[in-house]
Amino acid sequence: MRTIGVGLIGTGYMGKCHALAWTGVQAVFGDGPVVRRVMLCEVEEGLARRRADEFGFEASTADWRALIADPAVEVVSITTPNALHAPMAIAALEAGKHVWCEKPMAPALADSERMAAAARASGRVAILGYNYIQSPAVRFIGKLLKSGAIGRLNHFRLEMDEDYMADAEAPFSWRSARSAGYGALDDFAVHPLSLISTLVGLPSQVFGEMSKPYPDRPDGGGRRAVETFDIATALLRMEDGASGTIQVNRCAWGRKGRLQLQAFGIRGAIVFDQERFNEVGLYVADGPAEEQGFRQVLMGPAHPPYERFVVAAGHQMGFNDLKIVEAHELLNRIEGKPSLAIDFEGGLAIERTIHAIARSSREGRWVAVDEA
């Protein structure tokens, strides 16, 4: 069994998720190449060395270019702030490395286009960190939709809410700076769009609105104007006539990891909430009216790849497990096997949708996605 060398740039929240995924993928799936954790990069050498020891990487560096140049590194995980994705991903691809980059691609559409072009030119595998599509529940929903369990889809709604920026006195961070992008729209709404893209395809037209609940935040001894929008809403028109909505808010008190999907068809409905992501609600309008109602389906070994983690239903998968699944899908694609992942081409389509929504918010009109 061959070995594949991995380099990790960034060791924050998502960096640790990637490290855990690379550590666990072989034990969980038992196939594909054996992962060798070659090198880790952080902004300061001392921190990089500590993280390398903690995460089980052989070497460390404070220079991400040195990591990319290392011949033992074949795959580069990029988990840095959004504005750094493009230069790092493009450099890695030009060096002949495969890339696993966290979402979104980049704050500027032109940079996302450059990333996709670099992936095409390199012939390497480049995917984005849309781990929610790896959920057994989401895969089950896709199977239900494809089988026609609720008939033709005519409307869907997605809401994503968290409260880590709900406190008006939380300090100014990179997420509130314009260099990070629009705000909740490209930091958050890309996740609902990843579900839409995977399950039903992306919209042809959008109407968007972005809002700023707090005009400024503490910064050092004073206050700094917030440059991004923490709330965004969009109406979506699909090519086949179906409609949809997206609502995202990272200032939503009480919401910790809510990503709710409601899908309505001509014969039923499907409901899913990421805060209870081992459950799917299914309503089918069949049989006597007095017997109709939502049926709650609990994920278990019958819903792949749940069985790779737990042998019994009701014991639950978790967020980090989805990153392990995502790492496995990346390795499958590198090995030329079928895989479920959003590559840079699919990611660029999501980015174009995001920029069309932002343009709609600025201009107050419906915008075709191909106008972005």
Peptide bond into 215 cis (omega under 30): no
Q: State the pLDDT confidence band at 344, using cuts at 50, 70 and 90.
A: very high
Instruction: Using CB atoms within 10 Å of the CB of residue 230, give its burial: 0 to 12 exposed, 13 to 18 middle, 19+ buried.
Output: buried
pLDDT at 273: 96
- CA dist., res. 316 & res. 320, Å (int): 12
- CA dist., res. 351 & res. 189, Å (int): 10
| C-alpha separations of 325 from 84, 196, 216, 328, 354 in Å | 25, 19, 39, 5, 26
Average pLDDT over residues 120-131: 98
Average pLDDT over residues 167-190: 93
CA neighbours closer than 13 Å in the CB half-sphere of residue 16:
8
pLDDT at 180: 86
pLDDT at 234: 98
243 pLDDT above the threshold of 90? yes
Average pLDDT over residues 240-251: 97
Nearest to 7 by CA among 46, 50, 54, 65: 65
234, 206 contact by CB (below 8 A):
yes
Could you count the other beta carbons within 10 Å of the beta carbon of residue 178?
A: 12
CA 90 to chain centre: 19
CA neighbours closer than 13 Å in the CB half-sphere of residue 74:
14
Q: Which CATH number fits domain 135-315+342-363: 3.40.50.620, 3.40.50.300, 3.40.640.10, 3.30.360.10?
A: 3.30.360.10
286, 292 contact by CB (below 8 A):
yes
117 pLDDT above the threshold of 80? yes
272-318 pLDDT, tens digit each: 999 999 999 999 999 999 999 999 999 999 999 999 999 999 899 99
Q: Could you tell me where the beta strands, DSSP code E, fall in 167-204?
A: none
DSSP for 319-361 reads: HHHHHHHHHHHHHHHHTT------BHHHHHHHHHHHHHHHHHH
Average pLDDT over residues 221-245: 97
pLDDT at 372: 78
Sheet holding 258-265, edge to edge: 295-298, 279-284, 268-273, 258-265, 153-161, 243-249, 231-237, 205-211, 367-368
Q: State the pLDDT confidence band at 1, using cuts at 50, 70 and 90.
A: confident
Topology adopted by domain 3-131:
Rossmann fold (3.40.50)
- CA dist., res. 210 & res. 183, Å (int): 9
Q: State the pLDDT confidence band at 371, using cuts at 50, 70 and 90.
A: confident
pLDDT at 245: 98
341, 335 contact by CB (below 8 A):
no
- CA dist., res. 350 & res. 234, Å (int): 14
191-224 pLDDT, tens digit each: 999 999 999 999 999 999 999 999 999 998 899 9
103, 351 contact by CB (below 8 A):
no
pLDDT at 227: 97
Domain boundaries, the chain: 3-131, 135-315+342-363
33-88 pLDDT, tens digit each: 999 999 999 999 999 999 999 999 999 999 999 999 999 999 999 999 999 999 99
Average pLDDT, the chain: 96
206, 197 contact by CB (below 8 A):
no
Q: At what angle do helices 319-334 and 13-29 cross, to 10 degrees?
A: 70
